[in-house]
Structure 1
Amino acid sequence: MRAPRYGPAIGVLAVLAAVSACGTLPERRDEVTAEVTRFEQALRAGQHERLCAALAPATREELEQSAESRCGQAIGRAIGERELSAAGAVRTVDVYGDQARVVLEGDTLFLAHFPTGWKVTAAGCRPRPQRPYACEIKGG
């Protein structure tokens, strides 16, 4: 009598457990949407420090370096020059593992998942035909 073959079944269960530990796709979409909503609320309210806290570390660093000022001042300047403005309601949310793209009425934001939650990696993004998005705020 042959021993039962559990190897493939165990492998499938391990993958399912790993995926479920990261949250289901609808849960991740909800998390991303909530983060973008908080970002948009802070943008409308002119809360520069909240906006900076929502940025991914590399994005914040790039913003500060390119503006040669602290994040709060650089964000304030981007808002004042209309490079970044509140963009309206969420239209679509696409989540690919630890990366997400959120299309709003007037902007597209990109996010990445970090141990502390979802962070904005690029904002003020506009699609360009046959080329990558052009973003006002982005990481290096």
Structure 2
Amino acid sequence: MRGTRGARPGALAAVLLAALSGCGSVQEREDSAAAAVSRFQESLRASDTARGCAALAPGTRDELEQTAELPCTRALPDAGLPGAGLPEADDVSVVDVYGRQARVVTNRDTLFLSSFPGGWKITAAGCAERPGMPYQCLVKGG
């Protein structure tokens, strides 16, 4: 019996460590999603369309190209995204992460992301909230 009791504190410690690690992991995912948005918006400000297109999820990039009937590097500048071409950075005010999905709200825009093996990718940008309805987004995946 004594051996069983000795194992319990170790098991409890493992559970607590896993719980604490999970909290850190949420913060890390929030920070990573916010950083992905910051890099994307920086690419828009710098007119670095290749880097901006690389930040888009594959389905979002495909949808943008099909809708505009142009390659992403030519379609992205014409999408009318908030903050494009402005010298100052957007401030991130809210980051919500739910599993492999995230929503990042800045002072000018709301963006949605998905987690891919290479990191967070933008699935929708230029999104405006509509009460009782889905967001309306200028760039979105199909």
For Structure 1 versus Structure 2, the TM-score category normalised by the shorter chain is: 0.7 to 0.9
TM (norm. structure 1) is 0.81
1:102 maps to a residue whose letter is: V
- The corresponding residue for 1:36 is 37
The answer as to 2:74 corresponding to 1:73 is yes
Look up the match of 1:112: 114
For structure 2, the 5+ residue unaligned runs are 5-10, 85-89
The gaps in structure 1 that reach 5 residues or longer are none
Report % sequence identity.
56
TM-score, normalization: structure 2?
0.80
Q: Is the Cα contact below 8 Å between 1:29 and 1:93 reproduced in 2? A: yes
Moved >2 Å (runs of 4+): none
Q: How does 1:88-99 map to 2 (within 5 A)?
A: 88-99=90-101
1:49-78 deviation line (CA, Å, top 9, x unaligned): 111000000000000000011000100222
Q: CA deviation at 1:85?
A: 2.5
When Rg is computed on C-alpha atoms for both structures, the one with the higher figure is 2
Residues in 2 aligned to 1:134 and 1:85: alpha-carbon distance in whole angstroms: 13
1:44, 1:85 within 8 Å by CA — same for their partners in 2?
no
Query: What are the superposed Cα offsets for residues 3-39 of structure 1, whole Å, 9 maximum, x if unpaired?
Result: x7xxxx7xx96xx59xx69x71011111111111101
CA distance in 2 between partners of 1:55 and 1:136 (Å): 13
- Report the AA paired with residue 125 of structure 1: C
Aligned equivalents of 2:82 and 2:110: distance in 1? 11
Tell me by how many angstroms 1:86 deviates: 1.7
